[in-house]
Structure 1
């Protein structure tokens, strides 16, 4: 004999955003600060990608595409030894079985990805998304054992993602986001207009 039991009620509550985070990440008065950070990060990505695109040896884009990536990844595999290796085993597996066999494709992906992220950040176009992919590239460089400017750029990219509402406010996002919308809030281009009822 079975008895039907009512499913337990599921309660949800919205946790209010602290004033300090609302001021830092959602207040347009800080838009000039986010503009400066955005331009700096965007310039770093654009210049890095442009250097690869215009490389005279063609090791990033061209006849020898993949050569630079292969050299970089093979160098990363040499950093997997010791008690505290610079490159962890799981990432070494990814490098050996996924990245290296597709080095030529990754070469184009990295080059154009860096350029696109840089341009988008400089223009303030889909700033949060661009900063996310920039941070993702920084994370991969760090996982491959390369420090350089990656820690600083990763932190700045994370902050730009958190401030996505205002980091592109002095940019194209100010006009584009209201029109296309954000998840859960469609923009003016996608809202269905309600037909007006004719009054007699």
Structure 2
């Protein structure tokens, strides 16, 4: 019943638009600040490796993630120096404009979880909670935004191409 409300109700679309813009502004300003202020993830990565998330007995909770940071992320920090600021900026832009909202929120949640696994709590729990509401709402979260026009265009385009593929297979 709540899912139906989130996914179909026009009043839910208004509430979702407010939540989406709030979260989008947060993502966009964080990303833009990193793009314009010079961003280097190596300090964050080194800190997450040196002081991982630990349990009550002092053992690493996400050892696999620390190994990922040490073995892949830190040696390839230039990739992360590009992906993080641009990812945050584009996620924010998608949410602000309501364009490809579900995809933007999916990647936003992915990044939130990566920060969370590295031990950054901050506003991540709140963002994850709001993000799951937006992701669950699907199209309705972007109905008051560019998704009103973009999603039908994408559906029309993909259905048109699917028909071409079907003709090739049957021929």
TM bin, normalised by shorter chain, reads 0.7 to 0.9
The equivalent of 1:7 in structure 2 is none
Tell me, yes or no, if structure 1 residue 120 matches structure 2 residue 102. no
Aligned residue-pair number = 160
Q: Higher Cα Rg: structure 1 or 2?
A: 1
**TM-score, normalising length: structure 2:** 0.86
Matches within 5 A, 1:31-70: 31-55=13-37, 58=38, 60=39, 68-70=40-42
Which stretch of the first structure deviates more once superposed, 71-80 or 135-144? 71-80
Which stretch of the first structure deviates more once superposed, 84-93 or 94-103? 84-93
The equivalent of 2:76 in structure 1 is 102
Alignment equivalent of 2:141, drawn from 158, 167, 179: 167
Structure scoring higher RCO (CA < 8 A, sep ≥ 6) equals: 2
Equivalents in 1 of 2:157, 2:79: separation in Å?
A: 38
Structure 2: gaps (5+ residues): 165-171
Structure with greater helix percent? 2
Secondary structure of 1:170's aligned partner: coil
Runs (4 or more) in structure 1 with deviation over 4 Å come to 84-87
Give the aligned CA root-mean-square deviation in angstroms: 1.9
* Cα displacement string for residues 113-146 of structure 1 (whole angstroms, at most 9, x for unaligned residues): 0000000100000100000100111000000000
**TM-score, normalising length: structure 1:** 0.74
